[in-house]
Amino acid sequence: MEAGNKQAANPDEEMYTLRYLQQLYQSQYGALSSEINRVVSYLGELNAAQKAVESSDQISGREALVHLGANIYMAAKNKKLDNVVVSIGGGYLVEKTIIQVKQFLASKIERITEMFNKLIKNRNELAAALREISIKIDEIGTR
């Protein structure tokens, strides 16, 4: 009789574990999706910067709007654009030539794209695990 009770408790324990995993994976899936959205946005910014640097000789000597932050812009006249100031993180700025900036952006876009691909792979693995858990939950529910 006790063996029968253990078998009855087993599906309940399994269901509890599966529901817990399902919630955990759904939470991780949401976090990964949010991070993917941030990475896509950042890649868009990097690509826009890359286009701007590529066309830097077209804006040389012209007036342009300079973003000061908080959606505030200032009109400024560009001199010849030989050098650009680049944020390298941690609040540090470095002056680089246009060629160096092009290389820097290409390298950064490559690294961020690799990270994006890993995030997509991880999210797809979580989605597969969630599908498997749902199938197991359905199987237990029909027993």
| 128: CATH | 1.10.287.370
Comparing 55 with 131, the larger pLDDT belongs to 131
Its pTM stands at 0.76
What pLDDT band is residue 3 in, cutting at 50, 70 and 90?
very low
- Sign for the pseudo-dihedral over CA of 39, 82, 64, 76: positive
Q: Averaged over 25-54, what is the pLDDT? A: 95
Strands 72-77 and 83-89: unpaired
**What pLDDT, in 10s, does the model give residues 71-122?**
898 888 877 777 888 988 898 999 999 899 999 999 999 999 999 999 999 9
Measure the CA–CA gap between 39 and 59, rounded to whole angstroms.
28
- How sure is the predictor about 143, in pLDDT bands with cuts at 50, 70 and 90? confident
Q: What pLDDT does residue 79 have? A: 74
pLDDT, residue 5, reads: 44
Number of domains in the chain: 1
Q: What is the pLDDT of residue 9?
A: 54
Containing structural domain, residue 110: 2-141
* CB contact at 8 A, 82 and 56: no
Helical (H) or strand (E) element with 142: none
Cα distances (Å, whole numbers) of residue 116 to 11, 20, 29, 53, 138: 39, 28, 14, 23, 33
Q: Judge contact between 134 and 25, C-beta under 8 A.
A: no
Region of 62 please: left (phi>0), alpha (psi -120 to 50) or beta.
Answer: beta
- Mean pLDDT along residues 58-82: 79
Q: What is the mean pLDDT of residues 28-53?
A: 95
DSSP assignment letter at 82: S
Mean of per-residue pLDDT scores for the chain = 88
Q: Which residue's entry shows tokens 């990270």?
A: 115
